């Protein structure tokens, strides 16, 4: 049995899971493990699939690494909850832009511009 919670809902494969505190309504990510001493105080629920980019930075790896520059950013979702992750695509990210959360085998999840995918 895996004590670590899954990041993705089984009935909604494009929605990350979070935990909502029953008494206060606070939403947290990642979801609490069922083995946590606090688990009885939270319920697991899917997070919003899209949000607004709060901030980002462009990472320029050393040329010796062979890696191309990439963007990391904070995405604000309803809840409220703020996620940190990699931004996919080659376009420069836009603060305040609409981004969706997608699964990624390497990073667990990435953010993709809603406009770039249309």
Note the pLDDT tens digit of each residue in 2-15: 444 578 877 656 78
pLDDT in tens, 57-110: 999 999 999 999 999 999 999 989 999 999 999 899 999 999 999 999 899 999
Q: How far apart are CA 67 and CA 24, in angstroms?
A: 43
Same domain, 3 and 40: yes
Which of 47, 62, 82 lies at the terminal end of a domain, its last residue? Answer: 47
Nearest-CA neighbor of 103 among 118, 85, 90?
85
Interatomic CA distance for residues 77 and 117, integer angstroms: 19
Same domain? 79 vs 39: no
Per the structure, the complete domain to which residue 4 belongs is given by 1-47
* 57 and 106 share one domain: yes
pLDDT exceeds cutoff 70 at 118: no
Collapsing DSSP states into helix, strand and coil, what is residue 64? helix
Q: For residue 70, what is the domain's CATH number?
A: 2.40.50
Give the pLDDT confidence score for residue 12 in this predicted structure: 59
For residue 29, being part of any structural domain is answered with yes
What global pTM score does this model have? 0.86
């Amino acid at each position: 049995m895996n004590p670590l919670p899954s990041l993705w809902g089984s009935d909604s494969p494009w929605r990350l899971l979070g935990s909502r505190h029953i008494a206060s309504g606070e939403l947290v990510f990642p979801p609490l493990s069922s083995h946590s001493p606090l688990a009885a105080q939270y319920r697991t629920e899917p997070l919003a699939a899209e949000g607004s980019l709060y901030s980002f930075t462009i990472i320029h790896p050393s040329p010796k690494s062979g890696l191309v520059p990439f963007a990391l950013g904070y995405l604000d979702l309803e809840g409220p909850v703020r996620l940190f992750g990699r931004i996919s695509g080659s376009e420069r990210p836009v603060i305040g832009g609409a981004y969706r959360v997608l699964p990624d085998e390497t990073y667990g999840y990435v953010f993709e511009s809603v406009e770039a995918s249309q």
